[in-house]
């Protein structure tokens, strides 16, 4: 059986600058995949290429057999790929609930995720639902950003640097939501600079350097030394 999301030979450019050099990646339904790598490795660009924000200049991205590589970003969201962007990017003048409802605009028909289910996943958001998103702590804002993406009922959820700037206890609280998200049938891709966190949540890990995947495997099969070398570019 072919994978649910299949990326082959993906290249992307910013103007003349080539940021991705033939990335191959597959994701099965309900799987969690982690992409790790140092600053500038191309992790965010890969997320942005998948979601139609960065300019794809070669290769293919197939979602359930359909090539979505050159679709406009809103069509990719409607096709079932939602992103939690680095920095959360909430709408500052909107309340928590309004921010969540924005995510629902991209959904087709009914699906698992509703406001009620987001509030069950992150109960603090129910208490804060009438407050502006920006009045929340960083961790709570991250929960809103995840909830907003889930409200489109995605089949693939891309999460860019969820841990950034958050205390370990808050990071644990956010990652504790992952099993429920997976059970809803959504596959997850996390981009993480926090290698320990990535190894904990993922079924499969890819390490990127300079726009290429340099190491792939299941967490239990990858040695610390191999990950260290792939991450820092030691040969």
Contacting residues toward ligand ATP, per CB under 6 A: 14, 17, 19, 37, 39-45, 193
Which pairs from 85-92 meet CB under 8 Å and 24+ separation? 85/145, 85/160, 86/44, 86/160, 86/161, 86/164, 86/191, 87/164, 88/138, 88/141, 88/142, 88/144, 88/145, 89/145, 90/133, 90/134, 90/141, 90/144, 90/145, 90/148, 91/133, 92/132, 92/133, 92/134
Nearer to ligand ATP, 5 or 207 (CB): 207
Closest to 166 measured CA to CA, from 199, 147, 138 = 138
- Min. distance of Cβ 7 from ligand ATP in angstroms? 15
Nearer to ligand ATP, 54 or 143 (CB): 54
Nearer to ligand ATP, 77 or 209 (CB): 209
Closest to 29 measured CA to CA, from 4, 62, 1, 2 = 4
Nearer to ligand ATP, 13 or 126 (CB): 13
- Min. distance of Cβ 42 from ligand ATP in angstroms? 4
- Min. distance of Cβ 206 from ligand ATP in angstroms? 12
- Min. distance of Cβ 112 from ligand ATP in angstroms? 29
Nearer to ligand ATP, 151 or 198 (CB): 198
- Min. distance of Cβ 86 from ligand ATP in angstroms? 6
Closest to 131 measured CA to CA, from 99, 105, 162 = 99
């Amino acid at each position: 059986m072919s994978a649910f999301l299949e990326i082959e030979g993906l290249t992307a450019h910013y103007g003349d600058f080539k940021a991705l050099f033939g990335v191959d990646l597959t994701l099965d339904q309900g799987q969690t995949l982690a992409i790790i790598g140092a600053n500038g490795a191309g992790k965010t660009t890969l997320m942005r290429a998948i979601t139609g924000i960065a300019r794809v200049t070669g290769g293919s991205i197939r979602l359930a057999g359909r090539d979505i590589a050159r679709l406009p970003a809103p069509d990719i969201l409607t096709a079932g790929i939602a992103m939690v962007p680095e920095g959360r990017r909430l709408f500052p003048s909107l309340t928590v609930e309004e921010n969540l409802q924005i995510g629902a605009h991209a959904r087709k028909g009914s699906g698992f995720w509703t406001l009620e289910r987001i509030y069950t996943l992150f109960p603090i958001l129910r208490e804060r639902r009438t407050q502006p998103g920006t009045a929340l702590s960083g961790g709570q804002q991250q929960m809103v950003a995840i909830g907003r993406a889930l409200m489109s009922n995605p089949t693939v959820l891309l999460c860019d640097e969820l841990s950034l700037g958050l205390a370990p206890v808050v990071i644990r609280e956010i990652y504790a939501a992952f099993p429920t998200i997976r059970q809803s049938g959504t596959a997850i891709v996390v981009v993480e600079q926090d290698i320990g966190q990535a190894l904990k949540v993922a079924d499969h890990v890819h390490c990127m350097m300079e726009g290429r995947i340099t190491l792939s495997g299941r967490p239990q099969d990858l040695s610390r030394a191999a990950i260290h070398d792939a991450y820092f570019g030691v040969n």
